[in-house]
């Protein structure tokens, strides 16, 4: 990879990951890497978890996350709450069946 501008590594494409920011050419949403990074995973650990990526893209995702941390953290929390609500609803439905 020659000289690359950071904005070339992150893209939004309608129809891919709901239009969320993704690593260019991969379809990997930044939010997915942000969840692991927030949990304490290092860039090298992320590379082992996602071997189809490279460290440049992983660092780009982390930089994007840190630059937009409040918005991405809020999105992660909204998704976690929605997941918990869906799980409770499914458990309630299963118990009443």
Strand partners, 21: 12
For residues 45 and 19, is the Cβ–Cβ distance under 8 A?
no
For residues 55 and 43, is the Cβ–Cβ distance under 8 A?
yes
> pLDDT digit string (tens) for 10-31?
999 999 998 999 999 999 999 9
Neighbouring CB atoms inside 10 A of 78's CB total: 10
| Alpha carbons 45 and 15: distance in angstroms, whole number | 29
* pTM score: 0.83
> pLDDT digit string (tens) for 45-68?
999 999 999 999 999 999 999 999
Q: What band does 1 get if pLDDT is binned at 50, 70 and 90?
A: low
């Amino acid at each position: 990879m020659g000289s690359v501008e950071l904005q070339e590594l992150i893209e939004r494409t309608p129809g891919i990951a709901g239009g969320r920011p993704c690593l260019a050419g991969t379809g990997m949403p930044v939010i997915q890497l942000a969840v692991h990074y927030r949990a304490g995973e290092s860039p090298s650990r992320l590379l082992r978890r996602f071997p189809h990526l490279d460290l440049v893209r992983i660092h780009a995702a982390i930089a994007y996350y840190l630059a937009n941390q409040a918005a991405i953290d809020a999105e992660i929390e909204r998704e976690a709450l929605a997941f918990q609500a869906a799980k409770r609803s499914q458990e309630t439905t299963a118990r009443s069946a």
